[in-house]
Structure 1
Amino acid sequence: MNGITFAGKQLKTFNVLAHAHEDWELIYCTGGAGEILWQNEKTAYTEGDALVIPPHLLHCNYSNKGFTNVHIRIENDCTLVADGVTKVSDDADRHIRTCFEAAFFHFNGDADKRAVLLSAYGNLIVSYLAAFRGRSVLSAVTEKIKADIVKNFPSADYKLDAFLHSLPFNYDYLRKLFKRETGITPHEYLTAMRMQTAEKLLSCDTPYNVSEIAALCGFDEPLYFSRIFKKTHGVSPLHYAKRLR
């Protein structure tokens, strides 16, 4: 989840001394312009820009004419990924700003509702950053899905849908994002991993029969395994093995 741990505002300010945080820091410039200085780099920003700053990154903020902002800190979540300061520009309707302002309001509002609302707005802000920046902010999500599939595909009990629903993003959005970044859906990637493993086992001299290979590739039904293999390769597993040996 993307829980917000702090939300604040800066009125017209010219300098913020060098500092770092345990959590991700997200800054939305509501007025003016300036520069974030970090690791001998400079990231210029102006009104309507959001800045994503990783945990433990020492940085300072400088402006000749002054700036105002809303800034939040968010729990270190794998859906945010960056080696340095990243800038994301808001759209004309200022959707990101609306979320930052709401997060600030609720952080300082009703304590009984705060946790749920801040979690919701944290997820929404990260989603907007992903949508407006493109694949780079959420590439870690795709990598997380791929890693989970690689880890679990040999198990017939693996439930990919359950894992996707556990992530703090819309299920359909994740499927579309994954396909945009990899060219295939998560379920197609799962099938591809299982079929690639089956190919390797069938291509070499192994002691396993088709039923055992099916089990090693995450299928509890050999007939279903054979049907999927033939659909993707044009021949049955037995014919595939005989052709290569």
Structure 2
Amino acid sequence: MQTETYFSCEELNPTVYFVCKQKRVKECIYHDHDFPQISVILSGKGKYLVDDKLCEVEAGDVLFFDSGIKHHNVVTSVKNPMVEFFVGFSDIHFHNTPENSIDFGVYPKIMHMKPHMKQEVNKICYDMIDEYQSGQPGKEFMIKAYMTQLLVQVVRGLTSNVQKIEVEQFETYNRSYAVRRIINFLSENYEQRISLEQIAHNMYLSPVYISKIFKEETGESPINYLIKIRLERAKELLQTSNSRSIKSIAKQVGYDDVYHFSKLFKKYYGISPLYYKKNIREKMNA
């Protein structure tokens, strides 16, 4: 396709000069570089002055600074400052662009990432920072690999915009995929201690966003869904484990507090687990 030709690579063997993550509580000087730089806003919001044009930026935005492009950050909130990842590099060459250029025809020099891309790119950024600070043998090769992934993700994001993919359908697909992953995680780990923050960390998404998409797809919160999984499993165990105590069954489905477990069970089924087990026995012996 035409977009694939436009974004094809003549050379993609990046040399990384620096990798950094900063909380932008102060404004830097108006400056440029003699190499390209990519900046990713990981959280917060603010503004950027790019070639004398002031642009609003927020979490999920990617900024492209070609060699010679003057820029500096503008702090707009000390309570919610930008946390920014940036990387300087060279030794790239995309088709129909100058060597060592990331001028993809985007103006202003900002791309707003969709949720699925934000998840992938943020993970690459944090992995690159960890590797940069690790001091491990061969870290240069790992950083080069991460930089290649970052560039490919950026190109894919730009390509999807050029191709005008139907955003609403695309985001719905990715919401559904994310929710299926959450459901699988809950189903496979219900006996463990699980929090919304833990789910968010595993998915590289915010707890607020996870709660929103999960409610939209299933009609309930992730924690309520987890409770139902645990209680359904508890019912199965109460039906088949005559010799086991309520306390041991509660513990097996993720509840250390048997009183809390019994309270939830009665709330959902209208009967305590003890009486539920007793009724099952009576029916079996009848």
Q: How far apart, CA to CA, are the structure 2 residues paired with 1:60 and 1:95?
A: 26
Superposed, 1:78-89 pairs within 5 Å as 78-79=93-94, 80-82=101-103, 86-89=109-112
The amino acid that maps onto 1:81 is I
- Give the 3-state SS of the residue equivalent to 2:83 in structure 1: strand
The amino acid that maps onto 1:130 is V
Q: Which stretch of structure 1 is more off in the superposition, 80-89 or 120-129?
A: 80-89
The amino acid that maps onto 1:52 is F
Alignment pair present for 1:4 and 2:19: no
Alignment pair present for 1:100 and 2:125: yes
Match of 1:232 in 2: none
Match of 2:27 in 1: 15
Superposed, 1:132-143 pairs within 5 Å as 132-134=157-159
Q: Contact (CA 8 Å) 2:49, 2:74: kept in 1 or not? A: yes
User: Per-residue displacement from partner, 1:73-110 (whole Å, max 9, x unpaired)?
Assistant: 12152235317762122332411111111111111113
Alignment pair present for 1:91 and 2:114: yes
Q: Contact (CA 8 Å) 2:47, 2:76: kept in 1 or not? A: no
Alignment pair present for 1:120 and 2:133: no
Q: How far apart, CA to CA, are the structure 1 residues paired with 2:161 and 2:35?
A: 19
Alignment pair present for 1:72 and 2:97: no
Q: How far apart, CA to CA, are the structure 1 residues paired with 2:23 and 2:102?
A: 29
- Identify which of 64, 72, 75 aligns with 1:63: 75
| Larger Rg, first or second structure (1 or 2) | 2
User: Per-residue displacement from partner, 1:22-66 (whole Å, max 9, x unpaired)?
Assistant: 221111111211222122212321011111111121111102113
Assess, with a 3 A threshold, how the Cα gap between structure 1 residues 60 and 47 changes in structure 2: closer, same or farther. same
Assess, with a 3 A threshold, how the Cα gap between structure 1 residues 135 and 2 changes in structure 2: closer, same or farther. farther
Q: How far apart, CA to CA, are the structure 1 residues paired with 2:121 and 2:84?
A: 12
How many residue pairs end up in the alignment?
137
Q: Contact (CA 8 Å) 1:14, 1:64: kept in 2 or not? A: no
User: Per-residue displacement from partner, 1:99-130 (whole Å, max 9, x unpaired)?
Assistant: 11111111111342211111111111000001
Q: Going by fraction, where is strand more abundant, 1 or 2?
A: 1
Match of 2:47 in 1: 35
- C-alpha root-mean-square deviation of aligned residues, in Å? 2.3
Q: Contact (CA 8 Å) 1:90, 1:97: kept in 2 or not? A: no
Gaps of 5+ in 2: 1-12, 95-100, 163-286
1:136 Cα deviation after fit: 8.6
More RCO (CA 8 Å, sep 6+): 1
Q: Which runs of 4+ in 1 moved over 3 A?
A: none
Q: How far apart, CA to CA, are the structure 2 residues paired with 1:85 and 1:120?
A: 28
- Identify which of 131, 139, 164 aligns with 2:156: 131
Assess, with a 3 A threshold, how the Cα gap between structure 1 residues 136 and 89 changes in structure 2: closer, same or farther. closer
Gaps of 5+ in 1: 138-245
Q: Contact (CA 8 Å) 1:15, 1:62: kept in 2 or not? A: yes
